[in-house]
Amino acid sequence: MIRLDHVDKTYRTRRGDVVRAVEDISLVVGENEFVTLVGPSGCGKSTLLKLVAGLTEATGGAVSVRGRPVSEPFADVGFVFQQPVLLPWRSVVDNVLFSVEMLGLEPRQYRTQAAGLLELTGLGGFETKYPRELSGGMQQRVAICRALLPDPGLLLMDEPFGALDAMTREEMSLELLRVWEERRKTILFVTHSIPEAILLADRVVVMTPRPGRVARVLTIDLPRPRTMDLEFDGRFKDASDEIRSLIFAARKDRR
Amino acid sequence: MIARLIRRAAGEFAVPALTLLGALLAWEAATRVFRVPRFIMPAPSAILSEGWEWRYRFIGHTWVTLYETLGGFALSMLVGVPLAILIVYSPVLRSALYPLIVLAQSVPKIAIAPVLLLVVGHGEFPKIVVAFLVAFFPVVVDTATGLAATPPELLDLSRSYRASAFKTFLKVRLPMAMPFVFAGAKVAITLSVIGAVVGEFVGSDQGLGYVILSATSYWKTELAFSSMILLSLMAIVLFGAVALVERLTCPWLAPAPEE
């Protein structure tokens, strides 16, 4: 579904320095595949998501989604960020409807679906609450519902659970998997957490620090539906060790 | 429960009220004991009785100053907010307008006022212009800051949905900037009062500023004091009105309800 072909992205800072965010990235993501991107800070993971969404243009190589070259934003994408960035003056359900509204669709026709999504993510009964009345985890659930409402084929998630506490984080990961089982879509998921990357993914893309390159792509051969118990599975540990060694090897090289 | 409420009310209102009352009493006593001449420091009772004497004449003067203040404030919002939008959205206009705005702000308004009166003539309008000139700067700066403070993720989100810049402005950036707009408006309303009075000082035959000026030139200090009190009351009420509009239009800014 997504094809990245030797993609480079360099940009200029305000001071005029040239920064190579990602370099020579080649990656193919299949339809309905769950791929996680893991790597240290500043390895261009977020840039990669923006390239796929068409929010920024590659300086080299080619990005295409479903065979179409990406040069500007296109419908059929849902975005979830580290911060929920909800609109504080809108109720929960109106925040969920924000996505269809911005897409130029008629929000009234999506009310039942919005309520259904809130039910699915455990927020039934919270429709009329305001963001400030919700916990961080609940706010992020609203942001996920907002991204899911137009039913995009592609979901881009930029460390969506990064600002949550460890327990809420695990809960949300499993919940995301449950939602994904129910409404299959292609997910590109950026994270700092190695266990999270393995738990969620069909494949894990390990990246090196700036300029971001693909160090290795690991196929996670664990059964689904997944549970936290898998952390004690030998294959989980092997994958975890491999990713860790790749990241640390890259660090040593730089010193 | 009720006892707690009373104690809270006592803490919040009684202490400052008692302090104020004590200060007034001390002031009253001092002017009597030391026989301070009325024209140097009138007693609170003299100020009050003079103000009461003037109550009907004050209505007209207060109305004029209020009119000038509100005119200047309205103008500062009507000009300041669109100016801020232009500055935030167009880098060219930003570099063109910003120096002019800062220049306009850096000229002492009291120095412009006589020239303005020469150019614009007499009546209320030049005072409205002075009030506007004093008040518009915080509106522009605060609104521009608020518009620039939209979380970049929200802008990316809007862009990924291919929403137009206008739609993003209307549904995201402007409402996000409202707290900043109101912060600017609160400063602007109090500055407008000052601007109106400055305008009246330079040349007028009505308004509370004019009353202060003519009262002092006739050594009627107690009249000047009662005008000052009216001016402060006006500023407080106007500030409260802006705060009330903020509470009504942006209820989401109120602190979260306690669990």
Q: Is residue B172 within 8 Å of B154, Cβ to Cβ?
A: yes
* Closest alpha carbon to A124 in A149, A102, A92, A151: A92
A132·B252 Cβ contact <8 A:
yes
Q: How far is the alpha carbon of B155 from chain A, nearest alpha carbon, in Å?
A: 10
Q: Which residue of A has its CA nearest to B150?
A: A85
Does residue B258 have a pLDDT over 60? no
Q: When comparing pLDDT for A147 and A229, which is higher?
A: A147
Say what the pTM is. Answer: 0.85
What residues of chain A lie within 8 A of the CB of B257, using their CB? 133
> Looking at per-residue confidence, does B237 or A1 come out higher?
B237
The mean per-residue pLDDT over the stretch A178-191 comes to: 90
Tell me the CA distances in angstroms from B175 to A89, A95, B149, B182, one per residue in order: 8, 14, 11, 11
* Higher per-residue pLDDT: B254 or A139: A139
Q: What is the mean pLDDT of residues B218-235?
A: 93
Banded pLDDT at A227 (limits 50, 70, 90): confident
- Does the beta-carbon distance from B159 to A55 stay under 8 Å? yes
Spatial CB neighbours of B164, under 8 Å, sequence gap ≥ 6 = none
pLDDT digits (tens, 9 = 90+) for A56-67: 989 988 999 998
Question: Are A87 and B172 in contact (CB < 8 Å)?
Answer: yes
User: Above 50 in pLDDT, residue A199?
Assistant: yes
Would you tell me how many other CB atoms lie within 10 Å of the CB of residue B176? Answer: 18
User: Which of A81, A103, A130 has the CB atom closest to B161's CB atom?
Assistant: A103
Percent of chain A having pLDDT more than 90? 54
DSSP 3-state percent helix, strand, coil across chain A (nearest 5): 40, 25, 35
- For residues A169 and A164, what is the distance between their CA atoms, to the nearest angstrom? 6
CA distance A134 to B245: 26
Residue pointed to by tokens 């008692």: B18
pLDDT confidence of residue B256? 52
Q: What are phi and psi of A205, to 5 degrees?
A: -100, 115
pLDDT digits (tens, 9 = 90+) for B174-225: 999 999 999 999 999 999 999 999 999 988 889 999 999 999 998 889 999 9
Instruction: Answer whether A133 sits within 8 Å of B256, measured CB to CB.
Output: yes
SS (H, E, C) B114-178: HHHHHHHCCCCHHHHHHHHHHHHHHHHHHHHHHHHCCCHHHHHHHHHCCCCHHHHHHHHHHHHHH
> Which residues does chain A have within 8 Å of residue B158's beta carbon, measured at their own beta carbons?
102
Q: Mean pLDDT for chain A?
A: 89
pLDDT for the residue numbered B259: 42
Per CB-CB distance under 8 Å, the chain A contacts of B154 are 85, 87
Mean pLDDT of A13-38: 89
Do A55 and B172 lie within an 8 Å CB cutoff? no
Please, which pLDDT band fits residue A222 given cuts at 50, 70 and 90? confident
Chain A contacts of B156, Cβ < 8 Å? Answer: 50, 53, 55, 79, 81
The answer on pLDDT for A162 being more than 90 is no
Q: Do residue A54 and residue B160 have CB atoms under 8 angstroms apart?
A: yes
Mind telling me how many Å the CA of A74 is from chain B's nearest CA?
A: 7
> Mind listing the pLDDT tens digit for each residue in A63-114?
999 989 998 998 889 999 999 999 999 999 999 999 999 999 999 999 999 9
Q: Tell me the residues of A at the B interface, defined by beta carbons under 8 Å apart.
A: 50, 53-55, 73-75, 77, 79, 81, 83, 85, 87-89, 98-99, 101-104, 130, 132-133
- The band of A200, judged by pLDDT with boundaries at 50, 70 and 90, is very high
- Going by pLDDT thresholds of 50, 70 and 90, the confidence category of residue B82 is very high
| Nearest CB neighbour to A85, from listed B153, B159, B162 | B153
Nearest CA in chain B to A86: B154
Q: Select, from the ranges A90-104, A217-231, B13-27, the one with the highest average predicted confidence (pLDDT).
A: A90-104
Nearest residue of A to residue B168, measured between CA atoms: A102
What per-residue confidence (pLDDT) applies to B118? 84
